[in-house]
Structure 1
Amino acid sequence: MSPAEAAKAAAPEPVTADAPRLPSRPLMTQSWLDATFLHWAADPALVAPLLPAGVRPDVIDGATYVGLIAFRMHRIGWWPLPGMPYLGTFPETNVRLYSVDAAGRRGVVFRSLEASRLLPVATARTAFRLPYRWARMSAYRSGDEYWYGSRRREPGLPPSRSIIGVRVGPAIETPSALDHFLTARWRLHFTLAGRTVHMPNAHPRWPLHHAELLACEEDLVAAAGLPGVASGPPDSVLFSPGVAVRFARPYAVDRRP
Structure 2
Amino acid sequence: MVAREAEQRVRLPALRAGWLTQTFVHRPFRPEAVQALLPEELVVDEYDGAAWVGLTPLVMADVRLPGVPAALPGLPTFAETNLRTYVRCRDGRDGLWFLSLEVAFPLMLAARAIGAPYNPGSLSVSTDGDTVAYSGTRGNGDASYRVLVRRGDPIEPTERDVWLTSRWRAYTRRLGVLWETPVEHEPWPLAHATVEVLEETLTTAAGLGEAPLGEPVVHFSEGVRHVRLGLPMPCVPGRVSSPAS
* TM norm. shorter chain > 0.5: yes
The offset of 1:23, in angstroms, is 5.5
AA partner of residue 172 (structure 1) = I
Aligned length: 235
1:228 to 210, 216, 219: 210
Q: Give per-residue Cα distances to partners, 1:24-55, cap 9 Å, x unaligned.
A: 42121111100000011111111112112311
Tell me which residue corresponds to 1:190.
Answer: 172
AA partner of residue 187 (structure 1) = R
Flag the structure with more relative contact order, 1 or 2, with Cα contacts below 8 A and sequence separation at least 6. Answer: 2
Tell me which residue corresponds to 1:55.
Answer: 42
Partner Cα distance (1:63, 1:21) in 2: 28
| SS of aligned partner of 1:37 | strand
Tell me which residue corresponds to 1:4.
Answer: none
Tell me which residue corresponds to 1:39.
Answer: 26
Where does structure 2 lack aligned partners over 5 or more consecutive residues? 238-245
Contact 2:64–2:75, Cα closer than 8 Å, also in 1:
no
The offset of 1:199, in angstroms, is 1.0
Partner Cα distance (1:141, 1:60) in 2: 32
| SS of aligned partner of 1:51 | coil
Contact 2:147–2:198, Cα closer than 8 Å, also in 1:
yes
Tell me which residue corresponds to 1:109.
Answer: 97
The offset of 1:88, in angstroms, is 2.8
Partner Cα distance (1:51, 1:150) in 2: 25
Partner Cα distance (1:221, 1:108) in 2: 16
Contact 1:40–1:229, Cα closer than 8 Å, also in 2:
no
1:1-257 residue pairs with structure 2 within 5 A? 14-22=1-9, 24-82=11-69, 88-121=76-109, 123-125=110-112, 127-154=113-140, 158=142, 160-173=143-156, 175-229=157-211, 234-243=215-224, 244-254=226-236
Q: Is the alpha carbon distance of 1:142 and 1:61 closer, same or farther for their aligned partners in structure 2, counting shifts above 3 Å?
A: same
Tell me which residue corresponds to 1:7.
Answer: none
The offset of 1:176, in angstroms, is 1.6
Partner Cα distance (1:86, 1:178) in 2: 38
Contact 2:148–2:196, Cα closer than 8 Å, also in 1:
yes
| SS of aligned partner of 1:27 | strand
Contact 2:10–2:183, Cα closer than 8 Å, also in 1:
no
Partner Cα distance (1:149, 1:80) in 2: 33
| SS of aligned partner of 1:21 | coil
Where does structure 1 lack aligned partners over 5 or more consecutive residues? 1-13
Q: Give per-residue Cα distances to partners, 1:158-211, cap 9 Å, x unaligned.
A: 2x11110111000002x1211111111000011134211211101101000000
Partner Cα distance (1:53, 1:177) in 2: 28
Output the TM-score relative to the length of structure 1. Answer: 0.85
| SS of aligned partner of 1:180 | helix
Partner Cα distance (1:103, 1:209) in 2: 33
Contact 1:38–1:67, Cα closer than 8 Å, also in 2:
yes
Q: Give per-residue Cα distances to partners, 1:50-73, cap 9 Å, x unaligned.
A: 112311001112111011111111
| SS of aligned partner of 1:205 | coil
Residue identity over aligned pairs, in percent, reads: 36
AA partner of residue 20 (structure 1) = E
RMSD: 2.0
The offset of 1:128, in angstroms, is 2.7
AA partner of residue 151 (structure 2) = V
Partner Cα distance (1:90, 1:101) in 2: 31
